[in-house]
Amino acid sequence: MTTSRTQQLPNYSLTLPDGFIELPRGEPTDEKLRTLAMAIASRFGLPADTEVDQSLAGVAAMLMTLGASTEAGGAHYTAAAVFRSAKQADRPLMVVVSCFLLPSEHPSARVAADGLEKYHRNQSGTEVEQVPLPAGQTVVTRTASTSTLTANDQTIDVISHAITAWIPNPSGNGLLGVSVTSNNTEDWEDICDMASGLFETVEWTPHEEPTDW
C-alpha cells in the first residue's frame, strides 16, 4: 500500500536546555513511576542507588499526572524542569515544554502564518507577533489565565502563563506548536527569554525513505 506524502506529518527536532526531564506517555505504571523518580533523583544529584521514598514518588506522580494532562490536550511530547530563580536564589520555578504536531495543508508558510496571526488576534487576552525563525515563518502567542485554589481556608489566585510558537512546515503539510508554560509570574520574562532560545533550535527533518533489499 502506498501512503500519500501529503498525509504524513513531518519530523522535527529541537534542543531543550539542560535540566528538562521527558514525562512518560500513555497509561501510568509502576515501572514508569520508578523510571521518572530515578530521573528526578539524578537531576538533583542524588546517587544512582537512591531509594524511591514517599517524597520522591509523590513528585514523580505529580509530574506523571501533568504529562497525562498535556497528552490528553493533544501534546505528543512533554518535558518539565525545576530551576532556581535568577532574581531570588531560594525561589524555585517549574517550567513545562509541550509539543503538538497537527495536520495542516497550506500553500506556503507565509499564508499559514498570516492565517494563524489573524485567528489568534481574535482571541481575547492573547498577545500575538509574527517572527521569522530558522524553521520558518512563525506566530508566537502569549496568554495568561487565572485559577483559584483554596487551602487552609485561604484562597489563592494562581496565574498560568504560556508562550507558544506556532510553526507551519514550509514544505507543506504540518503545523508544529511548541508551548512553554509556568505558574511563576515573578520570573516569567526570564522564562520567555529561554523559550525564545528554544524556538530558535527547532528544525524540520526529512523522513527516512524505506530501503529496498
**Does residue 35 sit within a domain?**
yes
For residues 118 and 41, membership in a common domain is answered with: no
Q: Cell 523559550 maps to which residue?
A: 195
- Domain of residue 139 covers 85-205
Choose the final residue of a domain: 55, 75, 95. Answer: 75
- pLDDT reported for residue 4: 30
Report if residue 71 sits inside a domain.
yes
With respect to residue 29, please indicate whether it lies within any of the assigned structural domains: yes
CATH no. for residue 131?
3.40.1000
Angle at 158 between CA 74 and CA 14, to 5 degrees: 40
Shared domain check, 97 and 198: yes
What are the φ/ψ torsions at residue 103 (nearest 5 degrees)?
A: -70, 140
Q: Which residues pair with 137 in a beta bridge?
A: 132
154, part of any domain: yes
Looking at the fold, whether 113 and 196 belong to one and the same domain comes out as yes
Q: How far apart are CA 202 and CA 113, in angstroms?
A: 16
- Degrees (nearest 5) of the Cα angle 189, 109, 194? 20
> Which string of b and e fits 34-60 if b means at least 16 CB within 10 Å?
eebbbebbeeeeeeeeeeeeeebbeeb
- 200 and 98 in a single domain? The answer is yes
Kindly state whether residues 119 and 188 are assigned to the same domain: yes
User: Is the per-residue pLDDT at 173 higher than 90?
Assistant: no
Q: CA 205, CA 149: separation in Å to the nearest integer?
A: 42
**pLDDT tens digits for range 70-92:** 999 999 999 999 888 899 888 88
Domain for residue 6, yes or no? Answer: no
The pTM (predicted TM-score) of the whole model is 0.85
- Any domain includes 80: no
Same domain, 141 and 63: no
The residues facing 178 across adjacent strands are 99, 165
Nearest to 191 by CA among 96, 73, 71, 127: 96
Q: Is residue 1 part of a domain?
A: no
Nearest to 67 by CA among 103, 32, 19, 18: 32
Total domains, the chain: 2
At 19-64, the pLDDT tens digits run 899 998 888 888 888 888 888 888 777 777 778 788 888 888 888 8
99 occurs within a structural domain: yes
